[in-house]
Structure 1
Amino acid sequence: MSRSFYDLAFGVPPGGATKDTHYVRGSLEEVQRDLAAELAEEINLYLLCWYGARLTLDVYQQGKQTDSIDLHPFLTISITGYPDITFTGPEEPVGYDFEADEEAEDETTPLSHRMFAGDLGDAVKATVHWDRIEVPSLSGEVAREGDVVALHPIPGRSEHAKYGRQDFEE
């Protein structure tokens, strides 16, 4: 279909961890809710910090990808007792040395392990600074519930996604 839509893409290439989740949405408000839900899961923060997960908002106007916004620079992870973690891009966290976690004697105490295990609870908060992101408005006919759209091809997965959440790893 040649509709306009947003594709919130969150993924890690196959390897030690794998994730390939997309949210096809017709409004920025829906995207914001979807990303907030993803970032509420500590395992996803771990994937961003440790595996350098891809986190982009792709904009499609009338079926053609016109923009791809890397969301990393607009994300802040705040954890009680630690400096804020920000990103200059994928695989580029700033504020905590995750590589030093590999050298820790007790594997259960490093921050990366605590994220992976989901031990941080209320001590962690992820904030996306939407007010700093220039997201183009959608034009023309906008995708809605029940629609199937074509995504920019990525090797190894289908080009088509349904409106809403699509997990290409399931």
Structure 2
Amino acid sequence: MTDDRLVRSFYDLAFGVDPGGARKDAHYVRGSLEEVRRDLAAELAEDINLYLLCWYGARLTLDVYQEGKKTDSIDLHPFLTISIAGYPDITFTGPGEPVGYDFEADEEAEDETTTLSHRMFAGDLGDACKVAVHWDRIEVPALGGEVVRDGDVVALHPLPGHFEETAAYGYQDFEE
């Protein structure tokens, strides 16, 4: 017998770093784009997550599942702009491909505490940092069929080398 909860339509906002120096495999399973927008804004409001995007090349995708099947995966990197007072805007051509600031040059700094990488890692950006997500440029398909709701559990299709995961509606980090 098929579990009806596993064939619902939903968005999966996935933000992660492969295990190594940092670990994160966060997922937000949501039934509306408005919820996804709020979740992404909360993630991008944390300096450490900007560090993971810029330094570690974190994955950031919006996966679309229609009736339990992944039909789209949208890389969100090209739709981000990080503005930090005193620095050029940072945009991305893809994961691990920031444009506008040379993060590799931070490795050569005499005093690493003065680098942008360190400021991100230490959470020192505060009000000097603004992040824009250009939602008007992202073509996100509407969900069809039965849409996920609070209390539902769905199956997430794994990345290569990972096991299939089940995820409850809302937030979970499989690395915690």
Superposition deviation, residue 153 in structure 1: 2.0
CA distance in 2 between counterparts of 1:34 and 1:144 reads 16
1:23-65 Cα distance to aligned partner (Å, 9 max, x none): 0000000000000000000000000000000000000000000
Question: Counterpart of 2:3?
Answer: none
CA distance in 1 between counterparts of 2:164 and 2:122 reads 31
Structure 2 unaligned residues grouped into runs of 5+: 1-5
Cα RMSD, aligned residues only: 0.8
Question: Counterpart of 2:155?
Answer: 150
Among residues 43, 46, 52, which one is paired with 2:51 in the alignment?
46
Query: SS in structure 2 opposite 1:108?
Result: helix
Q: What letter corresponds to residue 123 of structure 1 in structure 2?
A: A
Superposition deviation, residue 159 in structure 1: 1.4
Question: What number of residue pairs does the alignment pair up?
Answer: 170
Question: Counterpart of 2:114?
Answer: 109
Structure 1 unaligned residues grouped into runs of 5+: none
Question: Counterpart of 2:15?
Answer: 10
Q: What letter corresponds to residue 13 of structure 2 in structure 1?
A: L
CA distance in 2 between counterparts of 1:78 and 1:153 reads 33
Asked whether the 8 Å contact 1:157–1:168 carries over to 2, the reply is: no
- Normalised to the residue count of structure 2, the TM-score between the two structures is 0.95
Give the % identical residues.
84
Matched, 1:162 2:168: yes
Asked whether the 8 Å contact 2:67–2:146 carries over to 1, the reply is: yes
- Normalised to the residue count of structure 1, the TM-score between the two structures is 0.98
Matched, 1:62 2:67: yes
Superposition deviation, residue 107 in structure 1: 1.1
1:56-113 Cα distance to aligned partner (Å, 9 max, x none): 0000000000000000000000000100000000010000000000000001001000
Query: SS in structure 2 opposite 1:20?
Result: strand
CA distance in 1 between counterparts of 2:163 and 2:108 reads 36
